[in-house]
Amino acid sequence: MRAVMLVGGFGTRLRPLTITTPKPMLPIVNVPLLELELLHLKDYGVDEVILSTGYLPDVFDEYFGDGSRLGIRLIHITEQEPLGTCGAVKNVEKFLGDDPVIVCNGDILTDLDISALVSYHNEKKATVTITLTPVEDPTAYGLVPLEPDGRIKEFVEKPSWDQVVTNLINAGTYVIDPEVFKQVPPGQNYSFERELFPRLLKQGVPMYGFPSDCYWLDLGTPAKYLKAHHDIMERKIEIPLRGNEISEMVFCGEGVKIDKTARINPPCVLGDRVRIASHASVGSLCCLGNDVVVEEGANIEGSVILDRAKIGKDCIIESAIVGKNTVLGPRVHVAEVAVLGDNIVAEEDNEFRHGIRVWPSTRIEAGKIRFYRTG
């Protein structure tokens, strides 16, 4: 079976991490999200994936090539201009063939049963099937109310509370009969959600919703990026963790060195060659990339530290993200979903809180950034 994976977006809400790495290539428990997504598709018999790239396309090509390492055929097609979710699939139309194709947003962590989705699509003789997921606050999303037989009744974009007739939202995974792309204008920015789907519904095309209570998380924001890590380590979704399980739910890559006075609190994932110095404390709910160094007395909790970052003596990192190669001097405090991009040097006694985001390659002198609480 064939799938199209949409990975061309700018990932603006996840900046600064996405300035250097496209969102689907950001590591989730030390594996690029897209690799997890491709292996998930492969588990359900998908053998060819068309990657619709746009932003930083070479990063995908360099990592995956033709997909043979993963045992999946990958075709990379790069847009010169962003064509939107539907325009991007129109752009790869000649690769689609005649059979229904799976279309996936490339920023979603899910354990959706793809076989059940495809069987449902076939049983209903649908032209389009949209996977739906329940959310607590549907007002930020597009709602998809259904008829009792599963047919889509209407699309309600960003409803007010009095318009909330369902908690089911579009989960960004579809099965589509390629025939419908004939009516999409080529080379133009075109959206599934705002343009093609409402248009097909008006035409009376059979469109069905597939409600699923599978695990589902779109990795739109830093808070969700952290949540994905926490959920995996808390086993809310079954993703294999790399490394040896040296004690219950502590996974360690090759060549890791942990001082005997350091504490590792599960669950925790440590990449290859991580070094943790004396009296440091790491975890719970931490993921450290390859070659991360944690110096004496540092304390890291609920955070993601990307490859080769160095966490200085007595630093405190809580619910935060530290980018690749970033170096923190002593007593730097990073907390409250602060995000430090790649290649930053923050000298001693700086403080990053309250969702602050620091752009890559910034140098911050000692004690320059402080947060004062008012009231």
Find the farthest-apart pair of alpha carbons in the chain and give their distance in angstroms, rounded.
68
Handedness of CA 123, 124, 129, 130 (dihedral sign): negative
- How many C-beta atoms lie closer than 10 Å to residue 254's C-beta? 12
Is residue 11 a contact partner of residue 18, using CB atoms and an 8 Å limit? Answer: yes
How far apart CA 188 and CA 82 sit, in angstroms, is: 9
Query: Which of 12, 115, 261, 278: binder of ligand GTP (CB under 6 A)?
Result: 12
13 binds ligand GTP per the rule CB under 6 A: yes
Closer Cβ to ligand GTP, 217 or 277, answer by number: 217
Handedness of CA 282, 310, 33, 209 (dihedral sign): positive
Query: Which of 17, 21, 41, 79: binder of ligand GTP (CB under 6 A)?
Result: 79
- How many residues touch ligand GTP (CB under 6 A)? 22
Query: Which of 7, 56, 109, 358: binder of ligand GTP (CB under 6 A)?
Result: 7
Query: Which of 16, 32, 54, 360: binder of ligand GTP (CB under 6 A)?
Result: 54
Query: Which of 26, 36, 74, 88: binder of ligand GTP (CB under 6 A)?
Result: 88
How far apart CA 321 and CA 168 sit, in angstroms, is: 31
- Residue 218, helix vs strand vs coil: strand
Is residue 117 a contact partner of residue 19, using CB atoms and an 8 Å limit? Answer: no
Site for ligand GTP, residues 207 to 226, rule: CB under 6 A: 220
330 binds ligand GTP per the rule CB under 6 A: no
C-alpha distances in Å from residue 268, one per residue of 180, 230, 244, 298? 46, 9, 12, 16
Please pick, among 90, 94, 158, 236, the residue that the annotation labels catalytic. Answer: 158
Closer Cβ to ligand GTP, 9 or 323, answer by number: 9
For 136: left if phi > 0, alpha if psi spans -120 to 50, otherwise beta; the answer is alpha
24 binds ligand GTP per the rule CB under 6 A: yes
CA atoms in the 13 A half-sphere facing the CB of 52: 28
85 binds ligand GTP per the rule CB under 6 A: yes
C-alpha distances in Å from residue 216, one per residue of 74, 142, 232, 329? 24, 16, 12, 37
Annotated active-site residue 224? The verdict is no
Stretch that binds ligand GTP, among 77-85, 268-276, 283-291, 344-352 (CB under 6 A): 77-85
Which residues, 6+ apart, have CB-to-CB distance to 292 below 8 Å? 270, 271, 274, 275, 305, 306, 307, 308, 309, 310, 311
Closer Cβ to ligand GTP, 172 or 323, answer by number: 172
How far apart CA 360 and CA 34 sit, in angstroms, is: 23
CB of 300 to ligand GTP, least distance (A): 26
Stretch that binds ligand GTP, among 84-92, 129-137, 276-284, 365-373 (CB under 6 A): 84-92
106 binds ligand GTP per the rule CB under 6 A: yes
Query: Which of 107, 291, 307, 342: binder of ligand GTP (CB under 6 A)?
Result: 107
DSSP state of 129: E
Closer Cβ to ligand GTP, 82 or 206, answer by number: 82
266 binds ligand GTP per the rule CB under 6 A: no
Query: Which of 70, 82, 357, 369: binder of ligand GTP (CB under 6 A)?
Result: 82
Query: Which of 20, 30, 52, 343: binder of ligand GTP (CB under 6 A)?
Result: 52
Residue nearest ligand GTP (C-beta atom): 9
Catalytic amino acids? Answer: 158
Q: Which residues bind ligand GTP (CB under 6 A)?
A: 6-13, 23-24, 52, 54, 79, 82-85, 88, 105-107, 220
